[in-house]
Amino acid sequence: MTHFIDRRLNPKGRSTPNRRRFIGRIKAHVREAVDASVRKRGITDMEAGTDVSVPRDSLSEPSFRHAAKGGTREGVLPGNREYRAGDEIERPPAGGGGAGRKGAPDGEGEDDFVFALSRDEFLDIFFEDLELPDLVKRALTGSAVQRPRRAGLSVTGSPANLNVGRTMRRAMGRRIALRRPSDAMLDDLRERLFALEAVFEPDAAQRAEILRLQAEIEALTAHRKRVPYLDPLDLRYSHFEPQPEPRAQAVMFCLMDVSASMGAREKDLAKRFFVLLHLFLTRRYDTVDLVFIRHTHLASEVDEETFFHSRESGGTMVSTALAEMNRVQSERYPASEWNIYAAQASDGDNYQGDSRDCQIWLESELLKICQHFAYVEIIGEAEARILRDAARGTELWMAYREVAERWPNFAMRRVSGAGDIYPVFRDLFAKRGEVAHG
Amino acid sequence: MAELLFDGPDWDFDTLRRTTEAIETIAREDLGLDVYPNQIEIISTEQMLDAYSATGMPLMYRHWSFGKQFIHHERLYSKGAQGLAYEIVINSDPCICYCLEENTMPMQALVIAHAAFGHNHFFKSNHLFRQWTDARGILDYLDYARNFLSECEERHGPAKVEHTLDAAHALMNASVFRHRRPAQPSLRAEAERAEKRIEEDERAAHYLWSRIEAEHRPQDHETSATQRRHALGLPEENLIYFLERHSPVLEPWQRQVLRIVRNLAQYFYPQRQTQVMNEGCACFVHFHILNKLHEQGRIGDGAMLEILHSHSSVLFQPRYDHPGYSGLNPYALGFAMMRDVQRICEAPEAEDREWFPAIAGCGDWRGVLKDAWANYRDESFIQQFLSPKVMRDLRLFALRDAESEEAMKVTAIHDAGGYHALRDTLARSYDLSNRSPDIEVVDADLAGDRVLRLRHVLRNEVPLDPREREATLACLRELWGYEVEIDEMLG
């Protein structure tokens, strides 16, 4: 009459599609929250969920219902102590009435509906702007790569993993130890028995011999049954253990022009550019160090906060940043131990004649040791319409173009919106294997 | 001394089976309950949260509002602001009963007696459930509904389906048949019907137009208003039903979506009418059965204490001025009333003989209660069975809050002069037509301005919430395609 079903092992996440629909519905708010936390957070800190707060109005599920006030209501309440029929009671100051108190359903007030966006959902929305191809998204969100590795033998496993050599060896050892009668022995006895049985009129000795042989054959057969050729005890399976792929360490240099011409919008775009490279690197390497180098006409290594938020005045000399990078790299990050990546963002301005120096720095020093060097020139939307031709641009742009033609590990791009950033890294994501270990 | 059914807090499936059998024996032989076969499913907390968010049903179509529910409950639960229900039981045949894996064995016994026998019996015997719900077909129907809606999403795009569902959900509570039941095919026949609807795609619209043409003839003008209303079957209390049949703008699949939402509203309607009775019945049953098992020595003292502890915290009724007060606790009220019926049948006092001459001292409390469970709903049950003793025990008093008066007024308390008034007031407050607004479609001139006219009958001058009203009207306009107006009329 009663059935019991154990549902505990059923697949989880029955509500996921509903949750996805819910997030879809409040996309605008979620996007806002994600953008805000991209601005607020550090580059390394990009991979956590975030709290999203949504005004309740946008989530209301209306229906015809009675107002909280007005009209005549009558209700019954429990726990009377002092009232008698006809007593009058002052109305409580707010709400109340006969309907009883109505608390906020979650104790957080009626204003906002707050919920936590998971890491995957966060990255999904972060990536959405960047227009990454799906394959790349998967590569970035996926966790550390694991490969099955041989790890000895085990007594259980799937038939496909049966280690035949080991299994047979153990079977043989057991057969020898337990003295399993061999086929040859039995055949020999049977032959002798056959021969004796063929004798037309056996004498007493022969008859006794026949009986003895029969008994012996029977005993041996029984023994063979007790000690089987292959016993479940002999089975050995190759055992595999998932092991994370060995990964090395990488350092990422963030170079940015911080002269006055770089406003909040430019810095925000630059930050997304750095974040993307950082996310990529954390997928590939166990440790990723970040070095922030800002420059005007002088370059210096700073911390992230200063890098993004403080302003400097002065001219612009890009080569100083490259020189600084070279200094930091040779002091702390020997190319033999570190994979070196660099990302540079600027608005393209440079001191007259300095671009040549940059070219020299890059070609003679940096590009020899860098896995990848990405450069973005951040321009306004209006400029983007004018500067459609990659063959024209500022002096720095022209100089870098020459470099790009000669060096495959150098990528450059003009960026006027978040969607333009990804193509800078296209090579990086396309030729992962080579580049990362090369 | 009989052997203990279980010992200690841990449970396994053997213990569960043994205990359920013992409970079932008492349920059938002592109480004479009639239940659907049980299907008891053990689920984890996460699955319980899942179940919460789909109105407790094991299958549900997909909609963002369920996602919102889930997130809401998950957050409350993870902050520790809210515990989880110990069980969820579904009015289906077989009766599905979810039990949380974290329950201790005494709790499992309590939950099984409560849900798998108490609620189950109520679902199977109460006339409202028998008449209005199809326990055998509901799971198939939900399965069909989910497949149909996901097909619609593929065919017409998720946004459109979501839009229609949003609008339909807004009208859900105003879309039940309260009194009559129009001839309708069984829920199972619906799948075939849906296919036919899609085939009749265009024809449905032509049908509407041809009717309008006919009514446009000038000589009909005089009588047209009454005739028109008659032809549309007005007035109509079930808003979705009306839209589904007569809306000039809906596509056939949208009508089918409306129909699904309406059927679900109807399926849940009896539960809204029998909260007190349903919970009271379940509590009464678990209390009786577990006490019996304890008397027989099959449940130990320690386990019984744990059971009583949970029992009494579920039945806790805070006083009206207690910070945790949130209205009368249906568990407490139902249980108190049913225990009192038992007392009146077995050991009545003079007062009871005067109030309940038919049952006082009859001794057959099982028969009386089973009859009540089968044939009443909250309102009529309170009207019939609320005894002075229960009113005194709960120290009930009636309070009137009228806009026209300076202060709130206590109209009756638990004394000889007040019992009747108190009972009437309480019964009325469980009348759903008092709880939810009374709105019906009164007119729609398809040949003329096409304005859909609704009428809200104000009871006790209680108005609609204005913001909600506007938002809901917007949903109605969406489904009707033209202007919608609502009049208020004093009832």
Chain A residues within an 8 Å CB radius of B462: 66-67, 70-73
Contact state of A113 with B72 under an 8 Å Cβ cutoff? yes
Distance from CA of B129 to the nearest CA of A (A): 22
pLDDT of residue B33: 93
Which pLDDT band, with edges at 50, 70 and 90, does B371 fall under?
A: very high
Six-digit token pair at B317? Answer: 């009724």
Which pLDDT band, with edges at 50, 70 and 90, does A104 fall under?
A: very low
Residue B97 shares a structural domain with residue B111: yes
Residue B388 shares a structural domain with residue B481: no
- Pairwise pLDDT comparison (B420 vs A259), residue with the higher score: B420
pLDDT of residue A140: 58
- Compare CB distances from B402 to A72, A106, A114 and report the shortest one's residue: A72
Six-digit token pair at B346? Answer: 């077995």
Residue type, B25: T
Q: Is the pLDDT of residue A150 over 90?
A: no
Burial class of B107 by CB neighbour count within 10 A (0 to 12, 13 to 18, 19+):
buried
Q: Is the pLDDT of residue B467 over 80?
A: yes
> What is the number of domains present in chain B?
3
Assigned domain for B300 exists = yes
Distance (Å, rounded) from C-alpha B452 to C-alpha B483?
A: 6
Q: Is the pLDDT of residue B184 over 80?
A: no
Domains of chain A: 12-54+112-130 (no CATH), 159-238 (no CATH), 249-437 (3.40.50.410)
Contact state of B319 with A79 under an 8 Å Cβ cutoff? yes
Range list of β-strands (E), A258-386: 287-295, 299-302, 339-346, 370-378
DSSP A43: G
pLDDT of residue A383: 76
Q: Do residues B250 and B258 make contact, with C-beta atoms less than 8 angstroms apart?
A: yes
Arithmetic mean of pLDDT, A47-72: 81
The pLDDT tens digits for A343-355 are: 888 888 888 888 8
Mean of all residue pLDDT scores within chain B: 87
Q: Which residues pair with residue A259 across a beta bridge?
A: none
- Pairwise pLDDT comparison (A118 vs B425), residue with the higher score: B425
Distance (Å, rounded) from C-alpha A16 to C-alpha A134?
A: 20
Residue B321 shares a structural domain with residue B297: no
Arithmetic mean of pLDDT, A7-32: 82
pLDDT of residue A102: 39
- Compare CB distances from A18 to B64, B396, B397 and report the shortest one's residue: B64
Q: Which of B434, B478, B473 is nearest to B453 (CA)?
A: B473
Residue B349 shares a structural domain with residue B443: no
Assigned domain for B83 exists = yes
Beta carbons within 8 Å of A113's beta carbon, 6+ residues apart: A53, A54, A55, A56, A59, B68, B72
- Angle CA(B23)–CA(B29)–CA(B35) in degrees, nearest 5? 65
Q: Do residues B391 and B419 make contact, with C-beta atoms less than 8 angstroms apart?
A: yes
Residue type, B143: D
Assigned domain for B406 exists = yes
Question: Concatenated DSSP letters for A123-164?
Answer: HHHHHHHHT--HHHHHHHHS---EEEEEEEEES---GGGB-H
pLDDT of residue A103: 39
Q: Which of A400, A295, A314, A310 is nearest to A357 (CA)?
A: A400
The pLDDT tens digits for B340-349 are: 999 999 999 9
Assigned domain for B449 exists = yes
Compare all CA atoms of chain A with the CA of B15 and give the residue at the minimum distance: A4
Beta carbons within 8 Å of B268's beta carbon, 6+ residues apart: B55
Compare all CA atoms of chain B with the CA of A18 and give the residue at the minimum distance: B67
User: What share of chain B in percent tops pLDDT 90?
Assistant: 51
Q: Which of B113, B388, B357 is nearest to B368 (CA)?
A: B357
Arithmetic mean of pLDDT, B350-374: 92
Q: Is the pLDDT of residue B443 over 50?
A: yes
Arithmetic mean of pLDDT, B29-55: 88
Assigned domain for B22 exists = yes
- Compare CB distances from A89 to B172, B408, B412 and report the shortest one's residue: B408
Q: Which of A76, A90, A121 to mutate to test the interface with B (most CBs of B within 10 A)?
A: A76
Which residue, of B434, B452, B477, is where some domain finishes?
B434
Residue A238: other Cβ atoms inside 10 A: 17
- Pairwise pLDDT comparison (A310 vs A93), residue with the higher score: A310
Contact state of A8 with B24 under an 8 Å Cβ cutoff? no
Arithmetic mean of pLDDT, B265-273: 90
User: What share of chain B in percent tops pLDDT 70?
Assistant: 92
Which pLDDT band, with edges at 50, 70 and 90, does A111 fall under?
A: low
Assigned domain for B160 exists = no
Least confident of B108-112, B183-187, B377-381: B183-187
Q: Do residues B69 and B53 make contact, with C-beta atoms less than 8 angstroms apart?
A: yes
- Pairwise pLDDT comparison (B466 vs A421), residue with the higher score: B466
pLDDT of residue A435: 38
Distance from CA of A48 to the nearest CA of B (A): 17
Residue B328 shares a structural domain with residue B418: yes
Distance from CA of B402 to the nearest CA of A (A): 4
Arithmetic mean of pLDDT, A89-99: 60
Compare all CA atoms of chain B with the CA of A23 and give the residue at the minimum distance: B64
- Compare CB distances from A2 to B20, B320, B400 and report the shortest one's residue: B20
Residue B364 shares a structural domain with residue B340: yes
Residue B46 shares a structural domain with residue B72: yes
Distance (Å, rounded) from C-alpha A363 to C-alpha B406?
A: 89
Q: Is the pLDDT of residue A380 over 70?
A: yes
Residue B427 shares a structural domain with residue B473: no
How would you classify residue A3: left for phi > 0, otherwise alpha for psi between -120 and 50, otherwise beta?
beta
Contact state of A64 with B437 under an 8 Å Cβ cutoff? yes
DSSP A8: T
Specify the 3-state DSSP secondary structure of A51.
strand
The pLDDT tens digits for A218-261 are: 999 999 999 999 988 899 999 888 776 655 678 889 888 887 77
Contact state of A7 with B40 under an 8 Å Cβ cutoff? no
Assigned domain for B257 exists = no
The pLDDT tens digits for A180-215 are: 988 899 999 999 899 888 888 888 888 898 899 999
Contact state of B13 with A6 under an 8 Å Cβ cutoff? yes
Chain B residues within an 8 Å CB radius of A105: 72
Helix (H) or strand (E) holding A27: helix A27-40
Six-digit token pair at A189? Answer: 């006895």
Distance (Å, rounded) from C-alpha B208 to C-alpha A63?
A: 28
The pLDDT tens digits for A400-434 are: 888 888 888 888 888 888 777 777 776 666 644 43
Contact state of B469 with A6 under an 8 Å Cβ cutoff? no
Q: Is the pLDDT of residue A107 over 60?
A: no
Q: Which of A424, A428, A243 is nearest to A339 (CA)?
A: A428
Beta carbons within 8 Å of B77's beta carbon, 6+ residues apart: B45, B49, B83, B84
Q: Do residues A393 and A387 make contact, with C-beta atoms less than 8 angstroms apart?
A: yes
Residue B298: other Cβ atoms inside 10 A: 22
Contact state of B417 with A85 under an 8 Å Cβ cutoff? yes
Residue B333 shares a structural domain with residue B406: yes
Residue B68 shares a structural domain with residue B26: yes
Distance from CA of B281 to the nearest CA of A (A): 20
Full residue range of the structural domain in which residue B43 is found: 13-126+274-308
Give φ, ψ of A50 to 5 degrees.
Answer: -150, 160
Give φ, ψ of A392 to 5 degrees.
Answer: -120, 155
Assigned domain for B236 exists = no
The pLDDT tens digits for A328-337 are: 988 888 887 7
The pLDDT tens digits for B425-439 are: 999 999 887 888 889
> Cα-Cα-Cα-Cα dihedral of B216, B222, B223, B229, to 10°?
60
Distance (Å, rounded) from C-alpha B19 to C-alpha B14?
A: 9
Residue B62 shares a structural domain with residue B30: yes
Residue B340 shares a structural domain with residue B415: yes
